[in-house]
């Protein structure tokens, strides 16, 4: 049986009709990358549910790599996240709820570092001409929430998967005519970046083997 | 004989190996847009020479529209310029020269407005999902210089051409790995924007006729 | 009789309770700078009225220098404007009106350059440790409107006054707690900048004499 | 004997002749705030030495609160840091050295949260009209390094001190004439922010007692 890579994105939120993280994830569902099969899932932008589903997807798919994508409108380049923190801000989710507590896991560690080779992913993307940088904060909204949740689930259950998170810019059509100067990135470039990140992750699996 | 549209871009400058303004201009040389033929020319980033060549190209091609393109690294969207001013800053050109005087044409008017319908070009681009905005300054470097020079040549010689200028963002491969968060735009999107701008310009010609 | 300097600022707009341009102008009313007396006036943020009042103040005060101030929230430094253009955008004023036409003076010149020595003002401010830069656009809202109106009134009536415009940053207390990362500047620094700009303007008067 | 508050700042770095973090720290040395005595120390921008000195200062002063300050040129407001991570980037220090490893403490936890009430400090500053925000990353340079080092020293040695870190903007005179649009903040505002942060920290001590 073929080994799996779990790729997650989010549904649209905050008035947007599209979310490139979910679109790119869906577009790669079933693809074979480096001999592994991509299994894509779209997460709701909802405190609680997003974590529950992330945990369930990890259990069901039993992937070698968990790569989650999220939208960060305003960033100009692919942001490969280095660290997930046990903290939630006061942002409302798609149901209008705020996180009940300001931590994700009671008594969980303050943070987890990404276990995909984040620096190498960045280096490889820039080599390929796709603007990328290492980011030291995934924020305090749903993105950091599912990233931390995935790290904690893998760690506390002794699972084997490498975990990573990538923030992607808005699409050009999302920012056109909004009257603000917001950077954007072509969907093909984002998609290529995600494939490259998975390939770099796979190489690091092999190197360890 | 087919009527012409003059499309200019610039050669690379400031250490870049590529300039999307020149590349996109060249890629459209000979194309037919709205029944008119595009004639593309690449200008040097040189005080004096750039103006002399712009004037010569206008005389030779006798176009109905003059659309000039320039790179504005750092801008996130297509910037359609509203106004050209009779002013030069202290920027060095590709030969290391600075402009000898701080005006472009002695006793020339302080400014010319673009005669292509800049606001409509912006509106049309945003409708098509290409991020665009009206810009009220083309700077004080070679871009404003050739824009003002074209406006003045057309105006002082009683030529018929509409004149416009568009600043385009950097390409992704130009900013990748530079360690700064600079917005970029896919070359296809820039090319489509230029075609759309020419089409909008042509429509305004027809409306006037 | 002592010669006068006309210093104008604006009333608050867009939900702000304070406007540093008006506050700083008022704080200098009656001050003596370089042997001249400052006469300060606060303009309403209203299409039409602002221009009418500007013209009346110029006629009444008959100043040697007209320096107008406006707020540009988002800019980090003192912006000394180089050029005023005969153009208005679609911004609503404090009464909710938009400009009826997209030009300020029918058949007026496209632009006027500032006649205060804008580059020297910038240089002097930076020497004094006050962050400043030359700006090539005063926008298309009330600031550019009164700047162009003052230039045109002086020019078309053959008045002697030098004309200038300075955009100032927001005050710290205006941006605190707004949840956005907006630069600000201490009111004392803004006030010192305005005094310095007037002094530089006065020196240029003397040099010409 | 009076209880102590340890306040640290940094020496200038990267070509600057001044560092507001060190200047403000020194200006408060010996001050009494909320019944406690401020002891100020200036740290070198040097991998290794900075941590050794931080640990020594904590041992010598035995403070109730450790508040460290650092410069973050480019930020527009006071940034109260939420988290310190066990990670160092590739930045060169004042001796030209890079960190030998990419972690600060071998096998140390991935991160520590600030134990001063960071959210309350932010809220209180904004109430006072001093622009402030919670920051989720202190970077990967010397600032995060001493912040993490202080957290780890306190935690691993069972010390009582609350630990916090504040990034401050550049001073106006540092950015004037640099030709880039960098936000700045008046030194008095920074100083008041630091006093306010210490007062908020002290209140949280009392609340716990």
C89-145 pLDDT per residue, tens: 999 999 999 998 999 999 999 999 999 999 999 999 999 999 999 999 999 999 999
Candidate from D131, D133, D182 with C-beta closest to C184 = D131
Q: Which residue has the tokens 């679109």?
A: A23
Can you tell me the distance from the alpha carbon of D135 to that of D142, in angstroms, rounded to the nearest whole number? 16
Confidence tier at B209 by pLDDT (50, 70, 90)? very low
- Residue C32 binned pLDDT confidence (cut-offs 50, 70, 90): very high
Partner-chain contact C177 D76, CB within 8 Å = no
The sign of the CA dihedral D185, D129, C192, C8 is positive
User: How many angstroms separate the Cα of B123 from the Cα of each of A179, A194, B147, C56?
Assistant: 11, 33, 21, 38
Q: In chain C, positions 126-145, which contact chain D (CB-CB < 8 Å)? A: 126-133
- Residue B207 confidence (pLDDT): 67
Structure confidence at residue B1 (pLDDT): 66
Task: Verify whether the Cβ–Cβ distance B87 to C140 is below 8 Å.
Answer: no
DSSP letters, A113-145, are: E-SS-HHHHHHHHHHTT--EEEES---SSHHHH
**Chains touching A by CB (3 or more pairs below 8 Å):** B, D
Q: Which of A82, A85, A140 sits opposite D87 (nearest CB)?
A: A82
pLDDT tens digits, one per residue of B165-188: 999 999 999 999 998 889 999 999
Q: What is the pLDDT of residues B109-143, one digit of tens each?
A: 999 999 999 999 999 999 999 999 999 999 999 99
pLDDT score recorded for residue C209: 43
| Cβ of residue C82 closer than 8 Å to a chain B Cβ | yes
pLDDT in the model for residue A1: 66
N-term to C-term CA, chain D: 19
pLDDT digits (tens, 9 = 90+) for D145-182: 999 999 999 999 999 999 999 999 999 999 999 988 89
Q: Predicted ipTM?
A: 0.95
Closest partner CB to D110 (pick from A83, A87, A140) = A83
* Inter-chain touch D185–C184, beta carbons under 8 Å: yes
Chains D and A touch (3+ CB pairs under 8 A): yes
Size of interface B-C (CB pairs under 8 A): 42
Output the six-digit token pair for B134: 């009206």
Rounded Cα gap, residues A38 and A195, in angstroms: 10
Q: Is the pLDDT of residue A88 over 90?
A: yes
Chain D residues in contact with C20 by the CB 8 A cut-off are none
Q: Tell me the average pLDDT across C184-200.
A: 98
Q: Band of the pLDDT at A128, cuts 50, 70, 90?
A: very high
Q: What's the helix, strand, coil split of chain C in %, to 5? A: 35, 25, 40
Look at chain D and count its residues. 209
Q: With cut-offs at 50, 70 and 90, classify the pLDDT of residue D1.
A: low
């Amino acid at each position: 049986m073929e080994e799996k890579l779990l790729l997650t994105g989010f549904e649209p939120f905050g008035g947007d009709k599209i979310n490139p993280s979910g679109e790119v994830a869906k577009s790669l569902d079933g693809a074979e990358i480096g001999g592994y099969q991509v299994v894509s899932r779209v997460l709701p932008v909802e405190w609680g549910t997003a974590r529950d589903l992330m945990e369930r997807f990890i259990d069901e798919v039993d992937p070698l790599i968990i790569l989650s994508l999220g939208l960060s409108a305003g960033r100009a380049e692919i942001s490969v996240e280095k660290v997930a923190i046990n903290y939630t801000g006061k942002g409302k989710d798609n149901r209008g709820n705020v996180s009940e507590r300001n931590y994700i896991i009671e008594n969980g560690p303050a943070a987890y570092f990404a276990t995909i080779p984040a620096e190498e992913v960045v280096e490889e993307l820039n080599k390929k001409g796709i603007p990328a940088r290492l980011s030291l904060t995934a924020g305090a909204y749903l993105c950091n929430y599912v990233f931390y949740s995935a790290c904690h689930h893998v760690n506390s259950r002794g699972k084997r998967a490498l975990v990573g998170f990538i923030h992607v810019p808005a699409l050009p059509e999302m920012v056109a005519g909004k009257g603000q100067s917001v950077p954007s990135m072509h969907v093909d470039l984002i998609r290529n970046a995600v494939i490259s990140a998975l390939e770099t992750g796979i190489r690091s699996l092999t190197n360890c083997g």
